[in-house]
Amino acid sequence: HTDETARTVKTTCAYCGVGCGIVATPQADGSVAIAGDPDHPANFGRLCSKGSALGETLGLEERVLLPVVEGRQAGWDEALDRVARTFTRTIEAHGPDSVAFYLSGQLLTEDYYVANKLMKGFIGSGNIDTNSRLCMASSVAGHKRAFGADTVPGTYADLENADLLVLTGSNLAWCHPVIFQRIAAAKAVRPHMRIVVIDPRRTATCELADIHLALAPDSDVALFCGLLHALSESGAIDDAYVARHTEGFSAALRVARTIKVRDVAARTGLADADIRSFYDLFAWTEKTVTVYSQGVNQSASGTDKVNAIINCHLATGRIGKPGTGPFSVTGQPNAMGGREVGGMANMLAAHMAIENPAHRETVATFWNAPNLAERPGLKAVELFEAVRAGTIKALWIGGTNPVVSMPDADRVAAALRACPFVVVSDVLRHTDTTAFAHVLLPAAAWGEKNGTVTNSERRISRQRPFLPLPGEARPDWAIFADVARRMGFSGFGYKSAAEVFDEHARLSARGNEGARDFDIGGLAGLDEAGYDGLEPVQWPVREGAGTPGTDDKRFFADGRFYHADGRARFVAVEPPQDGTCAPFILNTGRVRDHWHTMTRTGLSARLSAHIAEPFAELHPEDARRLAISAADLVEVSSPHGTAVVRALVTDRQRPGSVFVPMHWTKRYAPSARIGAVAHPISDPHSGQPALKSTGATVRRF
């Protein structure tokens, strides 16, 4: 994969969960040419604006290149001794739950694996959570309730082969552009394909829509409960499938039957005729895929939304077959890999459950772990609240910027200010979060790192280095392993990312034999050359399952699920009480050309030119009522905080709603940090913050 002549390296994009393959070619002048990998099955050579601009974001000007202790440059020994000593003393004095890690879906699987092993196996606490909690935790919880495992059943090809695509809470055109390009190409070839977009905003994704349902925020459960009812009324239920492969249908239908089309219209604000058109399309289109993303997940009813969607697929038997299924699209490049290693507070490893004694025994034995955590740790919002309350006294933040991205972000900043010991490992010297670091550790960046990521269709893909490590930067897995050794723990003597991956693969096969979905035992035993040459491959890759990449990757084709009785579960979800927040509902999300807190995309002038400054998208009626004109400065505020941004007046927005992008930080727009305005309310099942429905006020500034 490294052609010494042309010096081209095949790697995977640093950004979203599509997981596009990239060909990177360092040039004689120090720049790097970036192109889509024509052989990668996620993108077949395509790239979006962000991916194609990666070469413009590789400069070292903003990097942290040496460890920093209390604001002064230090050596690795001093910095890591300080981290190991402080964590050890804190644990001795206050117990293992007095420390925590807060990590990132940007980390590679190998990084995540070592950090999770250290916290859950050796420190003995479940307090390791990540910004993936903000991304897809509700999908995880919904999958587990329905399937008994966190399984994404289908593949990207299913999206192309469907006759009906329902895109709900997902602005694919901007947030997963290459999937959107693949769908657009498929629709051009198969014009009978119908696309329904369910989104309160008329986003760029609606350009492909046959029907756009601009429903009221958080009314999705009512829409899909109404759909289940309509499927039953119209005779579209697959009774044989339901009887043979599922449990709980009657209870779910009993609840759904209380919701008639007129109730759906009242809750969603949609016209009866539009609702009926969608229901008819769904009822009579066998090959249907429902895609869901942050608009579903980032909600106080996020998990119920996921299950309301899955209920409709189970009821029609549209799962486990080509061109069908519910499909969660992941936001981050490695949110899936983080799930696979169990790198979140309520997981263990390899899709094993922390609450399951047999799973704990398997992992403890494999790791030779003296002190395996026995219960879940604190999820993101609770975790920072525990820091603020002083219960957590030492915190390590890796590869993420919670002072911008978390809800109630000023409170997060206050928590870090009060925390006795904050470690940050990152690639940048100055972010809103590194400002609070007692110890700042220079991490390797994309282009320097070596490891794997998993995309939204379960495809494991290599990130390969094509640049030398700058200064004294180190890979994250090596930093965590070094601290573990300095804390006196054995089992962290890894020499390479390949060794870490091998251990992860071997653990995934332990005590499995098909009892769990995640299993890559067939990838164990790769030597360095085999790991370097690993082709993109979808899991599972079970031991002896045949040549990687050739065995069947479709889950649930045989109607067997991962609950103990092999049956899927309907969940009897009810629409939430009307929680209308007056006078505005604040929705946050992405723009096309920026990524998260702009730490990388902010470095590209080309990307910043697409949308040059943050904005508040308002409906013309609201703007008129508040005497706000286009481009006025407006103040968006809640009981938690305030942001000031430019007004964007457009009928793409619903009256009563305001949309503000999530990206801008103090550095790029000093008063536009919208995370400070967002409320910290979370879904009760998943702990995912409801970042799309904060009650807010808007006024001209």
The span from the CA of 553 to the CA of 518, in Å, is 11
Closest CB to ligand SF4 among 567 and 594?
594
19 binding ligand SF4? (CB under 6 A) = yes
State in angstroms the smallest separation of the CB of 138 from ligand SF4.
Answer: 21
The number of angstroms, rounded, from the C-alpha of 469 to the middle of its chain's C-alpha atoms is 27
Closest CB to ligand SF4 among 43 and 299?
43
State in angstroms the smallest separation of the CB of 152 from ligand SF4.
Answer: 16
Dihedral of CA atoms 496, 135, 367, 508 in degrees, nearest 10, equals -90
The number of angstroms, rounded, from the C-alpha of 307 to the middle of its chain's C-alpha atoms is 18
Q: Is residue 167 within 8 Å of residue 196, measured between CB atoms?
A: yes
Question: Comparing C-alpha atoms, which of 511, 573, 692, 82 is closest to residue 307?
Answer: 573
User: Phi first, then psi: what are they for 675, rounded to 5°?
Assistant: -60, -25
State in angstroms the smallest separation of the CB of 21 from ligand SF4.
Answer: 9
State in angstroms the smallest separation of the CB of 51 from ligand SF4.
Answer: 2
- Tell me how far CA of residue 500 lies from CA of 112, 123, 359, 364, 531, in angstroms: 10, 19, 20, 17, 11
Closest CB to ligand SF4 among 36 and 614?
36
Which 617-676 residues touch ligand SF4, going by CB under 6 A? none
List 8, 10, 11, 15, residue binding ligand SF4 (CB under 6 A) = 15
CB atoms inside a 10 Å sphere around CB 266: 14
> 148: helix, coil or strand?
coil
13 binding ligand SF4? (CB under 6 A) = yes
List 9, 24, 47, 172, residue binding ligand SF4 (CB under 6 A) = 47
List 55, 148, 153, 177, residue binding ligand SF4 (CB under 6 A) = 177
Q: 574-578 — which CB contacts under 8 Å span 24+ positions?
A: 574/221, 574/225, 574/255, 574/304, 575/219, 575/221, 575/222, 575/225, 575/259, 575/267, 575/301, 576/218, 576/221, 576/300, 576/301, 576/304, 578/267
The span from the CA of 590 to the CA of 594, in Å, is 7
Closest CB to ligand SF4 among 149 and 178?
178
Write the CB contacts of 4 (distance below 8 Å, at least 6 apart in sequence): none
Closest CB to ligand SF4 among 181 and 307?
181
16 binding ligand SF4? (CB under 6 A) = yes
State in angstroms the smallest separation of the CB of 172 from ligand SF4.
Answer: 9
List 8, 11, 18, 616, residue binding ligand SF4 (CB under 6 A) = 18
| E strand segments, 501-573 | 537-538, 568-569
| Stretch of 123-131, 176-184, 201-209, 339-347 contacting ligand SF4, by CB under 6 A | 176-184
State in angstroms the smallest separation of the CB of 13 from ligand SF4.
Answer: 3
Three-class DSSP labels, 292-324: ECHHHHCCCCHHHHHHHHHHHHHHCCCCCCCCC
List 20, 252, 329, 643, residue binding ligand SF4 (CB under 6 A) = 20
Closest CB to ligand SF4 among 461 and 688?
461
24 binding ligand SF4? (CB under 6 A) = no
Question: Comparing C-alpha atoms, which of 174, 15, 176, 326 is closest to residue 652?
Answer: 174
| Stretch of 15-23, 150-158, 185-193, 223-231 contacting ligand SF4, by CB under 6 A | 15-23
Q: Which helix (H) or strand (E) holds 85?
A: helix 76-94
Q: Give the DSSP letter string of 449-498.
A: --EEEE-TTSEEEEE---SPPPTT-B-HHHHHHHHHHHTT-SS----SHH
State in angstroms the smallest separation of the CB of 16 from ligand SF4.
Answer: 3
Question: Comparing C-alpha atoms, which of 348, 370, 354, 413 is closest to residue 665?
Answer: 413
134 binding ligand SF4? (CB under 6 A) = no
Dihedral of CA atoms 105, 107, 110, 115 in degrees, nearest 10, equals -90
Closest CB to ligand SF4 among 47 and 381?
47
Closest CB to ligand SF4 among 52 and 653?
52
List 66, 136, 178, 380, residue binding ligand SF4 (CB under 6 A) = 178
Closest CB to ligand SF4 among 20 and 439?
20
Task: Kindly determine how many residues on this chain lie close enough to bind ligand SF4 according to the rule CB under 6 A.
Answer: 14
State in angstroms the smallest separation of the CB of 425 from ligand SF4.
Answer: 23
Closest CB to ligand SF4 among 36 and 641?
36
| Stretch of 41-49, 81-89, 501-509, 532-540 contacting ligand SF4, by CB under 6 A | 41-49
331 binding ligand SF4? (CB under 6 A) = no
159 binding ligand SF4? (CB under 6 A) = no
Write the CB contacts of 401 (distance below 8 Å, at least 6 apart in sequence): 431, 432, 433, 596, 597, 599, 665
Q: Is residue 306 within 8 Å of residue 426, measured between CB atoms?
A: no
| CB-closest chain residue to ligand SF4 | 51
Closest CB to ligand SF4 among 177 and 522?
177
Closest CB to ligand SF4 among 19 and 153?
19
Q: For the chain, how many residues are written?
A: 701
Which 48-77 residues touch ligand SF4, going by CB under 6 A? 48, 50-51
Residues lying near ligand SF4 in the complex (CB under 6 A) are found at 13, 15-16, 18-20, 43, 47-48, 50-51, 176-178
